[in-house]
Amino acid sequence: MPPRDLILVLLICIVWALNFLTSALALREIPPFLFTALRFAMLGLPLLFVLKRPLPGQWPRLVAVCLCIGVAHFGLSFLALKLAGNLSSPAIVIQSYVPMTALLAWWLLGERFGWRTALAIGVSFGGVLVLGFDPLVFQRPDALVLMLLSALALAFGTVLMKRLRGLDVFSMQGWTALVSVLPLLAMSMVFEPGGFAQVQQASWVAWAGVAYAAFMSSLLGHGLYYVLIQRHPVAQVMPWLLLTPVLAVALGIAFWGDRPGPAMWIGGAMVLGGVLMVALRALAKARTVPRAQEI
């Protein structure tokens, strides 16, 4: 990629890594499901003006994608981030959605992959097991399980999204926000009693975290990502995005007090190494397919 696009990739990674820190600060004052609902409410309002309707017959799939990504993935990931008490392990474990997506695409869509990709998937999942023995993670195994479930929901949503047509990234974000707000508010009322009272007492730091998640992480970060995948294959962009968890770990050490042990470093290297191998195999496969000629 040219230097201009590499700068855009770095900006995306910085924005997404900072989202772990700003969200963790906000979650000290706002419960996770309510935080996610507020994020989507903020995001959905400006995107109302650019929404595109899905093609006929795609509504059920679109709603399923929105529930998988908006409610299950984001709701569980913020819950896991709050329970974990650190930034490092959630930032690493969420990357396991990449090998999960490859497995689900094989199971549900019949997509094939070779032994090298299978080995990379095994290495990545093995890294999650190793990471689980780190003292930071071992004391809150529920956070690790929730983040894995969040990654699985994102993988399901990604596979379902492959069959959607005619929706750009802003329409997808807009529909995800609109579909997800009410279920998340209902979940907050059931599982987070007193959450609305907490919001009334929330400081500007918490509200800044909500706004950052909505406008910087979602609108700016995913908007720039959409620009890049219009210029380059997704498989070419994906390896660079692994800078995000690396930067998030650095932020956790510098500003959150994370002190990763050997299991975290080894397991994290295995997870990210496996994800990188999957992405590089996808890139190699994409390069062997001739580009379609425009007519």
Q: Does the pLDDT value for residue 293 go beyond 60? A: no
| Closest to 263 (Cα-Cα) out of 152, 148, 126 | 126
- What's the start-to-end Cα distance of the chain, in Å? 26
Residue 45 in 3-state DSSP? Answer: helix
- Provide the residue type at 281 as one letter: R
HSE-CB for 242 with a 13 A CA cutoff: 22
Nearest-10 crossing angle of helices 222-231, 3-26: 160
The pLDDT tens digits for 184-230 are 999 999 999 999 999 999 999 999 999 999 999 999 998 898 888 77
Query: How far apart are alpha carbons 131 and 12 in whole angstroms?
Result: 26
Q: Does the pLDDT value for residue 291 go beyond 50? A: no
Query: How far apart are alpha carbons 246 and 272 in whole angstroms?
Result: 9
- 163: DSSP letter: T
Contacts of 135 (CB under 8 A, 6+ apart): 261, 263
Query: How far apart are alpha carbons 151 and 195 in whole angstroms?
Result: 25
**In contact, 6 and 140? CB cutoff 8 Å:** no
- Provide the residue type at 85 as one letter: G
Share of the chain above pLDDT 70, in %: 96
Q: Which residue has the higher pLDDT, 236 or 120?
A: 120
The pLDDT tens digits for 136-179 are 898 899 999 999 999 999 999 989 988 888 888 899 999 999 99
Query: How far apart are alpha carbons 175 and 169 in whole angstroms?
Result: 10
Q: What is the reported pLDDT for 117? A: 86
Contacts of 89 (CB under 8 A, 6+ apart): 131, 134, 136, 137, 143, 144, 147, 264
Query: How far apart are alpha carbons 275 and 240 in whole angstroms?
Result: 11
Q: Does the pLDDT value for residue 289 go beyond 50? A: no
Residue whose pair of structure tokens reads 């990629």 in the numeric block: 1
Query: How far apart are alpha carbons 192 and 149 in whole angstroms?
Result: 20
Q: Does the pLDDT value for residue 273 go beyond 60? A: yes
Write down the pTM of the prediction.
0.90
- Provide the residue type at 167 as one letter: L
Average confidence (pLDDT) over 290-294: 34
Evaluated on CA atoms 154, 155, 160, 162, the torsion sign reads positive
Kindly report the number of other CB atoms within 10 A of residue 116's CB atom.
Answer: 13
**In contact, 60 and 229? CB cutoff 8 Å:** no
| Average model confidence (pLDDT) across the chain | 90
Residue whose pair of structure tokens reads 């997808």 in the numeric block: 172
Average confidence (pLDDT) over 66-92: 96
The pLDDT tens digits for 82-130 are 999 999 999 999 999 989 988 998 888 888 878 888 898 899 999 998 9
Q: Does the pLDDT value for residue 180 go beyond 80? A: yes
